[in-house]
Chains A and B, each alone.
Chain A
């Protein structure tokens, strides 16, 4: 059941990204270009998603457990350390440079576009290596 729900949730996420315009690097860069030719569309993507989840998360997280599992797996770290500053700075530079963040990069794999595939391979390899190095230190 939880595997089925993962697939359904991923499917809805992918459809949402695609309908919203987030899968287009041009549209993402147009959104980030606030001082130039600005395309505000993607503010509505985040607004729409937050509108639903801010309300629903409140109810969901008051339950003692999720429907298919024994417990919620929600991050408990609340420290504002250097990782939460430097990580997002680095991520933002890459996002602004190309116009793809992890979700849209992966969802775009269906296009079988060679440059997109190269982006995903480099991105995932970097994620995994960073994680390996951090977990050793």
Chain B
């Protein structure tokens, strides 16, 4: 193992901002900042006001990415990194099915759920981390 490309300070600051964001959403709106759950809810037969707060959160998320890009604060993005091929679509489908069936992703289980001390979320986070690490180990070197 070699340690490369380590960016401790920006990553820590970014993480703190994500934590503050999750706290604001819980404190003001009583909601869990789980991106897969928020997104899924936009397409459910919920009330208009429910769809609205979810859509505004996602709009903010995209604007936030754009703003840090404008101010030169971003460490990399997905532009020209990904290629539209079968692997990309399979990956996207697995992320979609897995987070929907498991009721959460890195944010909902990994941050909010773990912070609440939810056993389900701690369990889920350990499993998706191990699964992702094994996947990278097995596919490393494959183009």
Query: A120 — nearest CB in chain B belongs to which residue?
Result: B92
Nearest Cβ on chain A to B108's Cβ, whole angstroms: 9
Interchain CB contact under 8 A, A127 and B36:
yes
Residues of A within 8 A of B54 (CB): 6
Residues of B within 8 A of A75 (CB): 32, 103, 113, 118, 120
Residues of B within 8 A of A103 (CB): 35, 61, 105-107
User: How many A-B Cβ pairs are below 8 Å?
Assistant: 499
A:77-132 near B, CB below 8 Å? 77-80, 83-98, 100-111, 113-116, 118-128, 130-131
Contact flags (1/0) for B1-33 with A, using CB distance below 8 Å?
111111110111111111111111111111111
User: Given known contacts A11-B60, A33-B140, is B112 in contact with A102 (CB within 8 Å)?
Assistant: no
Interface of B is mostly: helix
Interchain CB contact under 8 A, B30 and A19:
no
Residues of A within 8 A of B57 (CB): 6-7, 9-10, 13
- Taking Cβ atoms with an 8 Å cutoff, the residues of A that contact B are 1-3, 5-27, 29-30, 32-42, 44-54, 56-57, 60-61, 63, 65-69, 71-75, 77-80, 83-98, 100-111, 113-116, 118-128, 130-131, 134
- Taking Cβ atoms with an 8 Å cutoff, the residues of B that contact A are 1-8, 10-33, 35-36, 39-40, 43-44, 52-54, 56-69, 73-84, 87-103, 105-107, 109-116, 118-120, 123-125, 127-137, 139-140
